[in-house]
Amino acid sequence: MGKRIVADLKKRSKKGLEYAKQILQAEKIDHPKLREALEHYLAHWDEFTHPGLFSIACEAVGGDPDDFVPTQAAIAMMAASLDVHDDIIDKSKVKHKVPTVYGKFGAEMALLLGNAFLIEGFKLFVNSTAMLPKEKGKMALETLKKLLFEVGNAHALEVGLKEKKGFFPDDYMKIMEMKAASLEADMHLGALFGGGEAAKVEVLAKLGRTLGILVFLREEFIDVFDIEELCQRVAVQDLPLPLLFAMQDQEVKEKIVNIISKPKITKSDVAELVDFTLEAKPVVELRGKMQHLIEKGLLLANNFAKAELWNRFKTLLSFMLEDL
């Protein structure tokens, strides 16, 4: 199921991503190290979630995503900006076995490159709103601003929370919900640009938010399975959310601490960690919340009568608990 979803999103995102790369490569960047950082990022840039979801929402209301390739490129650029800046905050030096810009070129170059993506993406997005009626164009800009500010506030709250002692499940769930504003933006804007009526735009925005929470929670689970990502997060004392939930159980906490305190974590350690983490009652309850979100998303998807469209949403939502 996962491979089919990724293949579809990549196909949908291809034109927007290529357009974004062309614009960025043509930009005048004098500093050789910053240019090298840009080329490094572009060589490994395979963003498909954000423009892909824009495409699905656009199509869901009867629009043609190919009419809005620059908009998809703008969304991809702004997502890249958040990605590069997040790596600085999280001190992520490697992702998917590839050095991040922060890991390879340092915080300064990462910050500057992230800024370049944001400036270029926002300029392109503003230009693309000229395709919309004036009021809808203003609405698109307000929607983008509001939701991106929410994402920024989520990261600020997360940084503050990490500085506190103790674990606060409700606070972390609130942060996941706020981070999901980025995916709400994708689907809200896709429906808006696609010419959807207000009711459909609202449904797709809510579906984007629900899907976003699931995506971010799934990523937290995946980081428990991935030994490199796990070790990296342990090193900077930023444990994946399922571990933090599991550690509410004192007995499980002792087992987790014994493993993550080792000088070197092995694959067998990770396998053991996964077993007792997934079996911990707080984590079982967390997965139950994810199932509830899937059911909520399916109810929202019922607003779309076409069988093909409903099945696409069902596949996307159901995948969020696959193999967890």
* Sign of the four-CA dihedral 82, 84, 89, 95: positive
Overall domain count for the chain: 1
Q: What is the CATH number of the domain that holds 58?
A: 1.10.600.10
DSSP 191-211: HHHTT--HHHHHHHHHHHHHH
Alpha carbon distance 30, 278 (integer Å): 50
Residue 141, judged by CB atoms within 10 A of its CB (0-12, 13-18, 19+), counts as: middle
Classify residue 179: in a domain, yes or no: yes
3-state secondary structure at position 247: coil
E strand or H helix at 94: strand 94-95
Residue 234: per-residue pLDDT: 87
Classify residue 324: in a domain, yes or no: no
What are the residues whose beta carbons fall under 8 Å from the beta carbon of 179, sequence distance 6 or more?
A: 151, 154, 155, 212, 216
Residue 62: per-residue pLDDT: 94
Q: What does the pLDDT profile of the chain (324 residues) look like in tens digits?
A: 678 888 889 999 999 999 999 999 998 888 999 999 999 999 999 889 999 999 999 999 999 999 999 999 999 999 999 999 999 998 899 888 899 999 999 999 999 999 999 999 999 999 999 999 999 999 999 999 999 999 999 999 988 887 777 678 889 999 999 999 999 999 999 999 999 999 999 999 999 999 999 999 999 999 999 888 888 888 888 889 999 999 999 999 999 999 999 888 899 988 999 999 999 999 999 999 999 999 999 999 999 878 788 888 999 999 999 888
Query: Which of 265, 263, 292 shows the shortest CA–CA distance to 243?
Result: 265
> In angstroms, how far is CA 53 from the centroid of its own chain?
11
Classify residue 158: in a domain, yes or no: yes
Find the domain containing 289 and state its range.
2-319
Classify residue 198: in a domain, yes or no: yes
Classify residue 28: in a domain, yes or no: yes
Alpha carbon distance 59, 66 (integer Å): 10
Residue 311: per-residue pLDDT: 86
Residue 1: per-residue pLDDT: 64
Residue 161: per-residue pLDDT: 83
